[in-house]
Structure 1
Amino acid sequence: MATVLLVRHGRTTANATGMLAGRAPGVHLDDLGEDQAARTGDRIAAVPVAAVVSSPLERCAETARAIVEHQSGAPSSSVEPDLTECDYGRWQGRPLSELAAEDLWQVVQSHPSAVTFPGGESMAGMQARSVAAIRRHDAAVESEHGPGAVWVAVSHGDIIKSVLADALGMHLDLFQRLEVGPASVSIVSYGASRPRVLATNTAAGDLSWLAQGIPSGDAAVGGGAGTPTEGGRTPRIRT
């Protein structure tokens, strides 16, 4: 089974000003976001990745570029439209503080599976197309590079939260319980019987243990001994 590193883009000018950027063009990483992307690229450098797949929006392309630049090899790079940001419709480009006063805001918080953004897409549709894209690319990476392959998907907060919710077996209405910060790394390994969520929303920590491969098979009753790393230590990831 392949393993995917779900990376959110670094902080943007819109994030810093509290604006819902959506799919608007021209939204780039700010100075802090560039530093975040570089640090994430440095973390992932310890793992030879087979592929880097990115949302087409600039902020994700810039984050993906930082990851590729830190790789000693030459992973394939591609753009996946189905990993693009949610289509927020007429909410796009408006301040979050203003949107929070709308009735729909509370539905987004408590019952997102019922939400269709005015002039945009439903959150259920967003989850369906993003999960399908991740699983499609994961199968392709495993077919080409083998079950121990690691790859990176660079996307957006709500997209990654919806993919994690699916992997965790959570209803979409619970996905707001998940946090996915700028340039964070979450880790999912897909198997024949179920996905395994190895980490969520990590901003620091050693990722070299991923180069050792993820053991397959049934879950260990009682939790098992962890994933060994060089020196016999178990991985430590700080969130």
Structure 2
Amino acid sequence: MPTLLLVRHGRSTANSAGILAGWTPGVGLDDTGRAQAAALPGRLDGLPLVRLVSSPLERCRQTLEPLVAARPELGPPDLDERLGECHYGDWTGRPLSELAEEPLWRTVQDHASGAAFPGGESLRTLSHRTVDAVREWNGKISVEYGPDALWAVATHGDVIKAIVADALGLHLDHFQRISVEPCSVTAIRYTPNRPYLLRLGDTGALASLAPRPHGRSAGDDAVVGGETGTTA
């Protein structure tokens, strides 16, 4: 099955201001975020991407703009609302320092599966819709481009954490143990038997993620003793 690159958007104006942006319109990248996005094509150079998908929110679309400009053959990204940010409801637009005083904050931190944002959605709902979306896209891309296809999604921190938790078989209550920085890349290869987490929150070069169709010793089984790495 294909390999998915989850790209967290570059640093946004809300990130640098300490504001929970959610679905607030007009939240774009700050200067640091734009520089991070500009560096993304170089980090992905040599990787045979076949498709781009994005959250519809501006900060994600802006993050992919330099990549689309550098690789016009990919075309514009497909927008999928299911891969958008969590609907934080009444928490949207408020300072994180203020939200940390709310009773719900501890639930979000320690018992995410029980957290539902007033006027918004629960983290369980976020997990279900985002995991369903990437698995559906993965199936489509496998049919269209083959099992060794490589594709990318520009999305948000909590979305990536929920998808990684699912891939690792972690209970959602543990998803706060996962950390992904702005414009980091997380790579998951899905197989018929299990997903493999290849990178988590990588902010460096990614050339070694190029598909290696015969890199596994027994079909989809993990290599006993560990991977051997790339070959010259």
TM-score by length of 2: 0.94
Alignment coverage as a number of residue pairs: 229
Map of 1:81-230 to 2, 5 A cutoff?
A: 81-213=81-213, 215=216, 216-226=219-229, 228-229=230-231
Identity of paired residues, percent?
46
Q: Tell me, in whole angstroms, the C-alpha distance in 1 between the residues paired with 2:208 and 2:170.
A: 29
Aligned to 1:15: 15
Cα pair distance change 1:75/1:150, threshold 3 Å: farther
Following TM superposition, where does structure 1 have runs of at least 4 consecutive aligned residues deviating by more than 6 angstroms?
Answer: none
Counterparts in 2 of 1:75 and 1:223: CA distance versus 1, 3 Å: farther
- TM-aligned CA distance change 1:84 to 1:51, over 3 Å: same
Matched position secondary structure for 2:134: helix
**Residue ranges of structure 2 left out of the alignment (5+ in a row):** none
Q: Please state how far the C-alpha of 1:179 moved relative to its aligned partner.
A: 0.3
Distance across 1 between alignment mates of 2:76 and 2:136: 16
Letter in 2 for 1:220: V
Specify the alignment match of 2:26 in structure 1: 26
- 1:70 to partner: Cα distance: 2.7
Instruction: Assess if the C-alpha contact under 8 Å between 2:8 and 2:184 holds in 1.
Output: yes
Give structure 1 stretches of 5+ with no counterpart.
Answer: 232-239
| 1:187 alignment partner, SS class | strand
Amino acid in the other structure paired with 2:88: Y
How far does residue 74 in structure 1 lie from its aligned partner after superposition?
2.7
Query: 1:76 and 1:33 mapped to 2: Cα distance?
Result: 20
Separation of aligned partners in 2, 1:211 and 1:192: 17
The residue type paired with residue 225 of structure 1 is T
Judge conservation of contact 1:5–1:150 (CA < 8 Å) in 2: yes
**1:235: which partner in 2?**
none
**CA deviation vs aligned residue, 1:81-106 (integer Å, no higher than 9, x gap):** 10000000000000000000111001
Question: Hey, what's the Cα distance between the residues in 2 that align with 1:46 and 1:180?
Answer: 23
Task: Work out the CA distance in 2 between the residues paired with 1:43 and 1:144.
Answer: 25
Equivalents in 1 of 2:193, 2:104: separation in Å? 37
* 2:40 is aligned with 1:37: no
Q: Indicate the residue corresponding to 1:66 in structure 2.
A: 66
Task: Check the 8 A contact 2:44/2:205 in 1, yes or no.
Answer: no
Distance 1:67 1:208, change over 3 A: farther
